[in-house]
A and B are shown apart, each in its own frame.
Chain A
Amino acid sequence: MAVSIGELLLVPENVMLSTDTDILKTAEAWRRQGRGVAIATVVETWGSAPRPVGSHLVIDEETKFLGSVSGGCVEGAVITEALDVIADGKPRMIEFGVADETAWQVGLSCGGRIRVYVERVD
């Protein structure tokens, strides 16, 4: 079976459906295990955005993740960014949307725009 690099990289930690409660608890648990962890949060949306402001995605240094910031459209890019945040500890604000030059790769097909804040758990 052909598997893309993207699919290989993005391994959800838990195949079960995760809730808001699980997501931040998982972030805490992962950090206590000594893993590098970042939290991505949707801070602003325009138009028809798939996930509301305040939605979280947590990522560890091995690209395991839980939660979502979109309907699966930009998670890959957020996870890549999160690895840099875990590495250097500097929070970042990233924006996705149809106006984005990378729209064809990681844009939101729904036509919405979102801003995502990514921070490391120290």
Chain B
Amino acid sequence: MRLSLLSDLNAERSARRAAVLVTDVASGEQRLVREAEVEGDPLAQELQGALRRGKSGLIDQDGRQFFLTVQAPPVRVVVIGAVHISQALAPMAKGLDLDVTIIDPRTAFATPERFPDVPVLAEWPDAVLPEIGIDRYTAVVALTHDPKIDDPALIAALRSECFYIGALGSRKTHERRVQRLTEAGFGEADFARIHAPIGLDIGAVSPAEIAVSILAEIVASLRKERRRTA
């Protein structure tokens, strides 16, 4: 592989754009096809299918065998609330290759000292989320317990195609949340997208345990197709 090609592939990943590296396995000939260039490629149909499935694989075309290295953007977790659970969650998420961004308008919480390894934005979610852009490779996690902060984030998430939405709070808290969202014009199909109470039921107590249950639920959503009991 040419170094320039590897460098381009890494650049696409950093910019959160999908791309496919096409390798002729017999000759070693290679090219990088960016998401925007797929349509004009001779293997357009195969590339589109591979991108949709998000899976790398071999294909046969006119007696030649190509390997498609499919690179989907890294999965991102946008956490609303620079709280104790988020502090436990950030380093764990890194180990799972998840890009974490923390958002909390309360400047006492949203400090780099509390979150040394991830971006922390001391902003209101509705102000900053459009800038970040919530795509289908994004999970949105609302952890502040404060409707003033959580609700605008949940509304932005529901309007996006993000693959996971989770909100902290008891069933009672969620009932009141559903009421508020109903008044904001959302319906049953929207509420079904929200995981609340958040996290897999592992009886989590400590912030770290709750972080494990949230991350496990995010992975379960991400790998839905592979699960034995969906």
Contact = CB atoms under 8 A, between A and B. Distances in A.
B25 A121 contact: no
A31 B28 CA distance: 19
A54 B6 contact: no
Given A54-B55, A93-B25, A117-B25, A41 B3 contact: no
Interface string A11-40: 000000101110011011001100000010
A25 B3 CA distance: 11
Given A53-B55, A53-B57, A54-B55, A28 B3 contact: yes
A28 B1 contact: no
A20 B95 CA distance: 11
Interface in B16-73: 23, 25, 28, 55-58, 67, 69-70
A55 to B, nearest CB: 9
A53 B25 CA distance: 15
Contacts of B7: 28
A119 interface: yes
Contact of B69 (A17, A31, A41, A90): A41
Classify chain B: how many residues form its interface, as a range.
20 to 34
B6 A27 contact: yes
A100 interface: no
A43 B28 contact: no
A46 to B, nearest CB: 12
Interface of A: 17, 19-21, 24-25, 27-28, 31-32, 39, 41, 43-44, 53-54, 90-91, 93, 117, 119-122
Interface of B: 1-3, 6-7, 9-10, 13, 23, 25, 28, 55-58, 67, 69-70, 74, 95-97
